[in-house]
């Protein structure tokens, strides 16, 4: 079964980390982090509906201006999710320009600022000169976006400042086996949606009317092909504390692909603690304990630019082994 989205890292691991995710059906895209976006075409940027910002260090947020410029004339709003301070960061970015000529422009920017237990909201409309409009405050309990069969979850990590890590997963996909439907001589109709809904909600006792006859759901379940949805996680710029590592394992659990930093070599662990980043060993450990299938390294200190093979090898070896049943994750 085809996944409803595909994801790609825009830059190499020594450049600013950006993950671009495009949806097949909706033809729009989301982006994780907003550093140097020159690797994206204007067309790709114009598809972006949501940006998930881990934090506002310059290598994760400097691309905001380029994105803004590409979207100014767009009807569809831009949603930005980020950690404590993101609303002010966006407000200050917008205040850095003069906006007397954009009152006719349609762009609306909706910002969600995720704290440990609440989400604050701020809106910025071109028609209002991008002045901040305060929105409602709601409780935060991991999920920050649900749309078109996709869920984005976040968690708050420590990096000397609060940063967000994210996961994105598809709902379980339920498709009907058309050949089998034909073979059994059943006419497709609204009952198929009822069948899918019943399977999704685990309803066991239901009768459905098909072609004038009543069938128990058990007689129809075989028509459905059930596929687990794809999951990815994006985690970068977190200090190697026990609490952070535990959260990272939870957020990435069972992911098909984990996009994650491996900022320092394992031997530079002291520096990693001082600079609030992971080493290769921490990264390998998280990937192994989260039982992920693939690991993609997003962010490595430029001082190791000639040592990427060693970085990859150390992540693959993982440290320390923690008894996961799955073999070491595959790497690209």
How is residue 87 written in tokens? 């609303």
For residue 182, give the H/E element and its range: helix 178-183
> Judged by CB under 5 A, which stretch of 43-51, 223-231, 232-240, 307-315 contacts Zn ion?
232-240
Stretch touching Zn ion by CB under 5 A, among 54-62, 135-143, 226-234, 314-322: 54-62
Site residues (CB under 5 A) for Zn ion, limited to 266-295:
none
Rounded to 5, what percent of the chain is helix, strand, coil?
30, 30, 40
Torsion over CA: 135, 140, 144, 148 (sign): negative
Select from 243, 233, 87 the least CA-distant residue to 158. Answer: 243
* Neighbouring residues of 29: CB distance < 8 A, sequence distance ≥ 6: 20, 21, 22, 23, 44, 47, 48, 49
Spatial contact of 166 and 154, defined as CB atoms under 8 Å apart: yes
Site string for Zn ion, 192-231 (x = CB under 5 A): ----------------------------------------
Which one, of 187, 75, 80, lies nearest residue 135 by Cα? Answer: 80
By beta-carbon proximity to Zn ion, the closer residue of 161 and 176 is 161
Nearest approach, Cβ of residue 192 and Zn ion (Å): 47
Closer residue to Zn ion, CB minimum distance, 50 or 237: 237
Position 237 contacts Zn ion (CB under 5 A)? yes
Q: Taking CB under 5 A as the rule, does residue 59 contact Zn ion?
A: yes
| Contact with Zn ion (CB under 5 A) among 28, 46, 57, 224 | 57
Q: Quick one: 57 or 316, whose CB is closer to Zn ion?
A: 57
Q: How many residues bind Zn ion (CB under 5 A)?
A: 3
Binding site for Zn ion (CB under 5 A): 57, 59, 237
């Amino acid at each position: 079964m085809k996944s409803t989205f595909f994801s790609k890292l825009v830059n190499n691991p020594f450049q600013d980390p950006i993950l671009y995710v495009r949806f097949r059906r909706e033809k729009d895209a989301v982006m994780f982090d907003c550093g140097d976006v020159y690797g994206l075409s204007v067309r790709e940027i114009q598809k972006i509906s949501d940006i998930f910002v881990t934090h506002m260090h310059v290598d994760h947020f400097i691309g905001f201006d380029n994105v803004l410029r590409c979207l100014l004339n767009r009807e569809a709003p831009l949603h930005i999710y980020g950690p404590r301070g993101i609303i002010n960061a966006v407000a200050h970015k917008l205040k850095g320009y003069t906006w007397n000529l954009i009152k006719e422009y349609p762009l609306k920017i909706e910002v969600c600022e995720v704290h440990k237990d609440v989400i604050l909201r701020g809106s910025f409309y071109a028609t209002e000169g991008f002045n901040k409009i305060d929105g409602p405050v709601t409780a935060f309990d991991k999920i920050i976006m649900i749309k078109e069969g996709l869920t984005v979850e976040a968690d708050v990590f420590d990096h000397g400042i609060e940063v967000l890590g994210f996961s994105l997963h598809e709902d379980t996909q339920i498709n009907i086996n058309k050949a089998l439907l034909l073979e059994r001589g059943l006419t497709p109709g609204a009952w198929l949606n009822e069948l899918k809904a019943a399977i999704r909600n685990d309803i066991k006792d239901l009768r459905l009317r098909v072609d004038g006859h009543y069938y128990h759901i058990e007689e129809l379940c075989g028509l459905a092909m059930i596929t687990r949805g794809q999951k990815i996680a994006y985690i970068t710029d977190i200090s190697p504390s026990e609490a952070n590592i535990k959260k990272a394992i939870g957020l990435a659990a069972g992911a098909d692909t984990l996009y994650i930093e491996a900022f320092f070599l394992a031997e530079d662990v002291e520096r990693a603690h001082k600079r609030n980043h992971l080493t290769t060993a921490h990264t390998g450990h998280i990937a192994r304990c989260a039982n992920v299938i693939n690991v993609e390294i997003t962010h490595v200190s430029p001082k190791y630019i000639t040592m990427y093979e060693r970085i990859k090898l150390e992540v693959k070896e993982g440290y320390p082994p923690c008894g996961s049943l799955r073999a070491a994750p595959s790497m690209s």
